[in-house]
Amino acid sequence: MSTAKRIAVIPGDGIGKEVIPQAVHVLKATGADLQFTHFDWGADRYLADETTVPPDGFAMLARDFNAILVGAFGDPRVPSNIHAKEILLGMRFKMDLYANVRPVRLMDAALCPLKGVEPKDVDFVVIRENTEGVYGDVGGVFKQGTADEVAIQEDINTRKGVERILRYAFQYCRSNKKLDHSPRRRVLMCDKSNAMTHAGGLWQRVFQEISVDYPQVEMQHMYVDALCMQMVRDPRSFDVIVTNNMFGDIITDLAAGLQGGLGMAASGSLHPGKTCMFEPVHGSAPPIAGKNIANPFGAILTAAMMLAYLGITDQAEKIEAAVLEAVRQKKATADIGGSLGTREAGDWVANFVSAS
Ligand code: NAD
Ligand code: IPM
Ligand code: MN
């Protein structure tokens, strides 16, 4: 029986269709024993035959694959964004991938818009709850189209959901080191419990309760507004941040700004023991799509995260080292100061990986 890891590849829309092929190219250059199967789920398929996810699609992914590598979903021809909701949020919710892990690392001081900030100063991770919150699509509209219209969007926070994401953060802190090999020490819970008291109260209580199981981990708390200010003033203090679905979405775009922009940010949507999904933080970026200018490094670093998760750590490290070298030598796209196209930057990294 083959021992190859089976990877489902879903590039999606816009720049997803440009950066994911580069990520696959680099994965192939590692020589790791991987078997790729491509899926055309996205706006084109939806516009052609109204399929978002084929029947049994999620069960098939969970059954037949070791991991899923995803690009981005969003296309101006589908203003309802229904396909993105059904495919992307569908995978996160229906496959119960509850922990969206978004590492924030600065590879080169030149990429950070803040003065005097070095790579060693930006090495934290955001653990975003990925299956609840305001993303659950619970709510409705009443008296639509009238002056009395009411729109309700509920914020779902379950004891089980809050506890498992907070435990994930504590465990992540305990078992992951920083890039300089020093231990991680602190879990910061970010919420808005001063205004959203019902949900915030649950998060606060569970945070206190489960912290007794992790006495070696320092607990911190910040309201999300203050955290945004601190991220821009001085990101050095952050280590592991855990937060709900919506705050996690917002603060990881802000954090991507520290890394050199959305083109540099990687993520994984995880549930230990299940088939997990790996997705760059950025979207489909319609205005730059099809021009060979999108930065493929976020997708390539996402592929490295996937390899590490699958236990192929030596090859994952090779990819990260190659991207770091490309960034330093500006063998990169224009958004991070290079002059290469998407394909050429991907080729450079793939060649570096093959030669290393
Ligand atoms: P976006 O991430 O697509 O783009 C935001 C900005 O970052 C734009 O200026 C874009 O040019 C730039 N950017 C993003 N990725 C880049 C890259 N790899 N290289 C260089 N520049 C890059 O966010 P948006 O504009 O808010 O959304 C566009 C579409 O993508 C929408 O339909 C949105 O819903 C969707 N979206 C999808 C995902 C996903 O599928 N994971 C994530 C975010 C947004
Ligand atoms: C992300 C994206 C998605 C989210 C959108 C496309 C629904 O912004 O992955 O960060 O909000 O989770
Ligand atoms: Mn987002």
DSSP symbol at 207: H
pLDDT digit string (tens) for 182-241? 999 999 999 999 999 999 999 999 999 999 999 999 999 999 999 999 999 999 999 999
Question: What average pLDDT does the structure give for the chain?
Answer: 97
Q: Is residue 20 a contact partner of residue 343, using CB atoms and an 8 Å limit? A: no
Cα dihedral 282→219→244→96 (10° resolution): 90
Please give the Cα distance from 158 to 309 (Å, whole number). 27
Nearest to residue 16, comparing CAs of 262, 246, 234? 262
CB 163 within 8 A of CB 205: no
Regarding beta strands 123-129 and 150-153, do their DSSP bridges make them parallel or antiparallel, or are they unpaired? unpaired
Q: What is the mean pLDDT of residues 259-277?
A: 98
| Ligand 3: centre distance to CA 251 (Å) | 9
pLDDT of residue 32: 97
Q: Are 34 and 27 in contact (CB under 8 A)?
A: yes
**Residue 281 CB–ligand 2 contact under 6 Å:** yes
Q: How far is the CA of 166 from the centre of ligand 3 (A)?
A: 20
3-state class of 191 per DSSP? strand
Q: Is the CB of 72 under 6 A from ligand 2?
A: no
Q: Determine the Cα angle at 149 with ends 143 and 153, to 5°.
A: 100
HEC readout, 71-92: EECCCCCCCCCHHHHHHHHHHH
* Ligand that comes closest to the CA of residue 93: 2
Q: Is residue 2 over pLDDT 90?
A: no
Q: Is 249 in the pocket of ligand 2 (CB under 6 A)?
A: yes
The per-residue pLDDT for range 293-341, each reduced to its tens digit, is 999 999 999 999 999 999 999 999 999 999 999 999 999 999 999 999 9
Distance 146 CA to ligand 1 centre (A): 33
Question: Which residue numbers are catalytic?
Answer: 135, 192, 225, 249, 253
Average pLDDT over residues 80-91: 96
Q: For residues 12-20, give the mean pLDDT.
A: 98
Q: Closest-lying ligand to the alpha carbon of 254?
A: 3
Q: How confident is the model at residue 1 (pLDDT cuts 50, 70, 90)?
A: low
